[in-house]
Amino acid sequence: MTSFRFTRRGLAVSALALGAIGLTGSKLLKEPDDSLPKTRFPEGFRWGTATSAYQIEGATAVDGRGPSIWDTFARLPGKIRDGTNADIADDHFHLYKEDVALMKALGVKTYRFSIAWPRIFPEGRGTPNPKGLAFYQRLIDELLANDIEPYATLYHWDLPQALQDRGGWQSRDTAQAFADYTAHIVRGLGDKIGRFFTLNEIHAFVDLGYGKGIHAPGLTLAAAQLNQARHHAVLAHGLGVQAARANGRSGLKIGPAENITIALPDVETPQNIRAAEHATRELNAAYLTVMLEGRYTDAYLKEAGADAPRFTDADLKTISTRVDFVGINVYGPGAFVRERSDGSGYAQMKLPASYPHMKSPWLGFAPQALYWAPRMLQKLWAVKEIYITENGTSAADEPDEDGRIDDLDRVMFLRQYLDQLQRAINEGVPVRGYFLWSLLDNFEWADGYETRFGLHYVDYKTQKRTPKLSASFYKKLIERNALV
């Protein structure tokens, strides 16, 4: 029988339970040292914020930028909830110095941003646009002048429309085009950027854009075509890692930023934890699993059957090219699971209608996800350097009569999730940094401007930025390097 104990940090698995699954005293997890303050994060922990180019930059037709699939998609009737587009967004292209000042005021030392592929290659490949690269050089110089380290994401969903016209992620050529684009970026910016992320959330942009049709480019492919698009995207990741290493300076580090589908044990028993580990590996079979193992799982290929992607052994070797770290975006529960009664595997549980969620219906409230997600990376794939590349929440942000935005729900969300992240770190999981999503309210894809995720409220008519209560919370947390 598993025993549990109550602590001031909440319900925790006992040493007996951990020992039963071979974790206590191992290099994987360490029993927390009671002599250390439990609320402090490790010295040198990297606190940051995150954004993406299409959601904040605007200036979609400035300085030679070409159209992206999202520029096209946003103009299709009924695709964006409020009928808007990101032509202006937060006008970060012109207001980047003001936004860097916001970061400095928060006290963050790192900033994860994305580079707009169509701003660099308006046609997706071929002749680069020097004015596009010059914008990011100005942004990076401003960050460094304010003692903020830039972390760049190479692709955050804004595929050049010209490449989509030639097949997009259904085409193997797009993977090679990404590698060529990566090589150009690291040659042009790699002297000032030490860490790059390849593609952001392959799972999301392929499944939502090519499977369900609710994101750009709005396709609903058959299973075989969808699986092939997934394969081309993970192949692009591997080719991108190779291109970065071949063209970047010594010491450059690179890895993915994936929205891991995290399986959570319904109750933390040894049996259910094993089931969750099994489920996490299988639920990510076409994404992180193949990237980190160099093979598709037998269960994935069996389920896909005749619709499985076509690939070669050389593809798998490329996809699993060694990475320096892994970034994961963590929001709600991917799935709750338990061990099957016959011990044959895992059973996935359906969320009840009353399960709590944040303003976005898809964002179920599951703080323990920020414990289990990095722990699974370490347990399943022995990842030695982990970054939480996105974590945050939508909220019903409205200024009061004094102009204040008291987003108590976001503060609650962050405090509970970060407590669970600290639980993982205290047990030896090598999480090195955390990027809060997001610095600013912005264009939230198919939701348009109706959904707000920012630490700063943006008045889209005036472009005025106003810090929310959550910005004060995050600033104090960073100052103390401890939960507040």
Active-site residue (options: 57, 258, 339, 390): 390
Give the orientation angle of helix 92-106 with respect to helix 469-480, to 10 degrees. 50
Active site residue 450: no
User: For 282-328, what is the HEC assignment?
Assistant: HHCHHHHHHHHHCCCCHHHHHHHHHHCCCCCHHHHHHHCCCCCCEEE
Q: Point out the annotated binding site.
A: 55, 156, 200, 331, 437, 444-445
39 token code pair: 């609320």
Q: How far apart are CA 465 and CA 49, in angstroms?
A: 15
Parallel, antiparallel, or unpaired for β 149-155 and 456-459? unpaired
Active site residue 282: no
Q: Point out the annotated binding site for substrate.
A: 55, 156, 200, 331, 437, 444-445
Q: How far apart are CA 193 and CA 181, in angstroms?
A: 16
Q: How far apart are CA 480 and CA 483, in angstroms?
A: 8
Left, alpha or beta for 126 (phi > 0: left; psi -120 to 50: alpha)? Answer: left
Task: Report helix, strand or coil for 16.
Answer: helix
Say if residues 385 and 430 touch (Cβ distance below 8 Å).
Answer: yes
HSE toward the beta carbon, residue 74, CA cutoff 13 A: 25
Q: How far apart are CA 124 and CA 174, in angstroms?
A: 9
Say if residues 433 and 45 touch (Cβ distance below 8 Å).
Answer: yes
Q: How far apart are CA 182 and CA 159, in angstroms?
A: 13
Active-site residue (options: 142, 149, 201, 268): 201
Write out the catalytic residue numbers: 201, 390
